[in-house]
Amino acid sequence: MTDYRIQHVNLFKAGASGSDTDILDAKGLGPSSSKTELRPNRSGTTFRLTISLGGNAVLKMVMDNGTDTVETELNNGAAIVANKLTTLAFSVDSLLTYEFQTVGVSVDINQFLVEEVSFGVV
pTM score, whole prediction: 0.83
Contacts 24+ apart (CB under 8 A), 31-35: 35/99
Per domain, the residue ranges of the chain are 5-117
Q: Angle at CA 118, nearest 5°, toward 115 and 119? A: 155
Residue 92: CB atoms within 10 Å: 22
Q: What is the mean pLDDT, run by run of 10 residues, along the chain of 122 residues?
A: 64 79 68 62 89 95 94 96 96 91 91 83 54
Res 53: pLDDT: 95
Class of domain 5-117: mainly beta
